Amino acid sequence: MSIKTTLVRTLAPLAAMAALPAILAAPAYAAAESATTARPQVRAAAAEGSYNILISHRALFVADFCLLSTTSGNGRAACSGNKALGTDFRLGVVYKPGDRVWIDVNVVSGRDTKGIDLRGNRMCRVDSTAVNLNVHCWKNLAQYESGVPGERVYG
């Protein structure tokens, strides 16, 4: 493999990730809306190949949440860093239409849960009991705020 090919393969993911700060800086409601109802700049970002979610962390543990897609793979996961109870935050990852998108919940001093398939949802609430991690998701923030029960998603 030539040096040029190696550089292109190494730098291409960085170029794709360069757009994420602007996307993540958008208001939470815009990032969580579907592409058909989102503001123009969010819609344009989605066309460029990103998948954005809003997570409402209500579990009684500290965890690092990682958003992954088939395109991103483990090497380019978008991770939150350790988040405590009561934290709402956004994550975005590179994405191509048809990709599987999932989150990994890496619990500090606890049991991790990997491969929670989002099934196209953009807004998720994570909570827990003493034994189980529960992840409920909605297609967008409006559904979440409407009081409609979310879809329970599993790894």
Please give the pLDDT value at position 130. Answer: 66
- Which residues touch 27 (CB under 8 Å, ≥6 apart)? none
User: For the residues of 35-52, what is the DSSP string, one character each?
Assistant: TTTS-HHHHHHHHTTEEE
Q: What is the pLDDT of residues 47-77, one digit of tens each?
A: 448 999 999 999 989 999 999 999 988 788 9
Residue length of the chain:
155
Inter-residue contact 55 to 104 (CB < 8 Å): no
Look at strands 151-152 and 101-107 and give their pairing.
unpaired
Question: Hey, how many other C-beta atoms are within 10 angstroms of the C-beta on 8?
Answer: 11
3-state DSSP: the chain helix, strand, coil percent, rounded to 5?
A: 30, 35, 35
**C-alpha span between 85 and 94 (Å, rounded):** 27
**C-alpha span between 88 and 97 (Å, rounded):** 26
Residue 97 corresponds to which amino acid? P
Q: What is the pLDDT of residues 80-107, one digit of tens each?
A: 999 999 999 999 999 999 999 999 999 9
**C-alpha span between 57 and 80 (Å, rounded):** 11
Mean pLDDT in the chain?
76
Query: pTM for this structure?
Result: 0.67
Q: What is the pLDDT of residues 111-154, one digit of tens each?
A: 899 999 999 999 999 998 767 889 999 999 899 999 999 999 98
Q: What is the pLDDT of residues 9-49, one digit of tens each?
A: 544 443 434 433 333 333 333 333 333 333 334 343 444 48
